[in-house]
Amino acid sequence: MAVVAVVLSLYLPGVSSLKEKRAIVRSLVERLRSRLHVSAAEVGAQDELQRAAIGFVTVSEELGTARRLADEARRFADGELLGKAEVIAAAVDELVLDAAV
């Protein structure tokens, strides 16, 4: 089993309230979950107006497939955030587990 975890650090320049920020973050998280079937959540900077951290995870039998899914989710997030936020950093971590039980 292969797991790829990604944390995107976002800059939201036009946001002036936590309500605006949460609308952008919630929309992205819900779309990642529903369209790409990845586990996603806001994982940091919850109380900062113009910063956010979104994490998502892909799981597959093969590392290559998990990487492709994570790349697809990253491109999707970039498209969804266009004009609303900018990805200023991305951290990626990979884990491969032996499936022998």
Taking the chain (101 residues) in runs of 10, the rounded mean pLDDT of each run is: 94 90 92 91 88 94 93 92 90 87 61
Q: Is residue 54 part of a domain?
A: yes
Residue 49's domain comprises: 2-96
Whether 9 maps to a domain, the answer reads: yes
Token digits of residue 101? 């039980």
pLDDT computed for residue 82 by the predictor: 86
What's the number of domains the chain is made of? 1
Q: Give the domain CATH number at 28.
A: 3.30.70.1120
For residue 66, being part of any structural domain is answered with yes
In this structure, is residue 33 part of a structural domain? yes
In a domain, 101, yes or no: no
Whether 16 maps to a domain, the answer reads yes
The reported pTM is 0.86
The 10s digit of each residue's pLDDT in 56-75 is 999 999 999 999 999 999 99
